[in-house]
Each structure stands twice: as C-alpha cells, then as structure tokens.
C-alpha cells in the first residue's frame, strides 16, 4: 500500500485488556466474527469494481470472505474468488493476451479506513456481548 498514514483507534488499550480477559475459545470466536464483519466493505467494493467486467454476475457472486483463526489472538481474513470463479485472477493480474485490470486490490485500498472503523466497532460490540455471558 502506498498510503502510510497511521490509523488511530480510540480506547485500544481497554479493548485489548477486555479481549485478553476472555477465555481462549471465546477470544477465537470473537476474533473470527469481528474480522468477518470488518471485511464486508472490501467484498462490497470489489463487487462494485467488477460491474464493468462481469457481464453474467457469476464472478461477483463468487467473491468470498474466509476467516481462519491461527490462534486465540491471531486470525486472517481472506477476500477473493472461489475456485469456480478462478478467472477473476486473470482480470486482476492480466495474462499474456490482455493487460491487468485490477479490481480487488483497489477495493481493499479504498476500503482501508472503513475496515479499521468496522473492526473497532465490531470488537467493542462483540466484547460487550461476550463479557455479559
């Protein structure tokens, strides 16, 4: 990414303390849920970026969010196309026969600040829900 400006989240130390106070399984569940919710703007924007190139809508429908919890404090959200829509990568990266027409990376870059905002809001909501239980 070319935009290197720092991102600030209000109340981060308290969120971190509350998150660490949860049990291991609860932390994992909260983290997966929060990441999935934070990734939705990228998928939505990627679908909009594809409007020109995806005449049938098949690729647009097959943009998926996959969240993998590596541990109770680390998780990864992946946004991309399902296997049956493999040709979306050809649009993104180009081939020997036609140039790249990126749609996923620009969607991520344009959604960067919204991802952080949604992550913080979702984390606060999920932590409150988990602490109440």
What ranges do the domains of the chain cover?
22-126
CA distance 29 to 123: 11
Task: Look at residue 1 in the predicted model and tell me its pLDDT.
Answer: 44
Q: Tens digits of per-residue pLDDT, 7-54?
A: 555 666 777 777 777 788 888 888 899 999 999 999 999 999 886 667
The secondary structure of residue 114, as a DSSP letter, is: H
Q: Is the pLDDT of residue 104 over 50?
A: yes
Q: Is the pLDDT of residue 128 over 50?
A: yes
Mean pLDDT, range 107-120, rounded to an integer: 91
Of the chain, the percentage scoring pLDDT greater than 70 comes to: 88
Alpha-helical (H) ranges within 9-103 are 12-21, 24-49, 58-61, 88-93
């Amino acid at each position: 990414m070319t935009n290197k400006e720092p991102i600030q989240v209000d109340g981060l130390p308290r969120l971190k303390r509350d998150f660490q106070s949860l049990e291991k399984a609860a932390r994992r569940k909260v983290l997966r849920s929060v990441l999935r919710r934070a990734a939705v703007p990228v998928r939505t924007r990627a679908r909009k970026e594809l409007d020109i190139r995806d005449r049938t809508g098949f690729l647009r429908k097959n943009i998926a969010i996959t969240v993998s919890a590596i541990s109770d404090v680390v998780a990864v959200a992946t946004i991309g196309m399902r296997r049956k829509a493999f040709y979306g990568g050809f649009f993104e990266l180009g081939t020997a026969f036609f140039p790249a027409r990126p749609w996923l990376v620009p969607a991520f870059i344009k959604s960067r600040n919204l991802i952080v905002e949604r992550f913080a809001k979702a984390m606060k909501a999920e932590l409150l829900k988990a602490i109440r239980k």
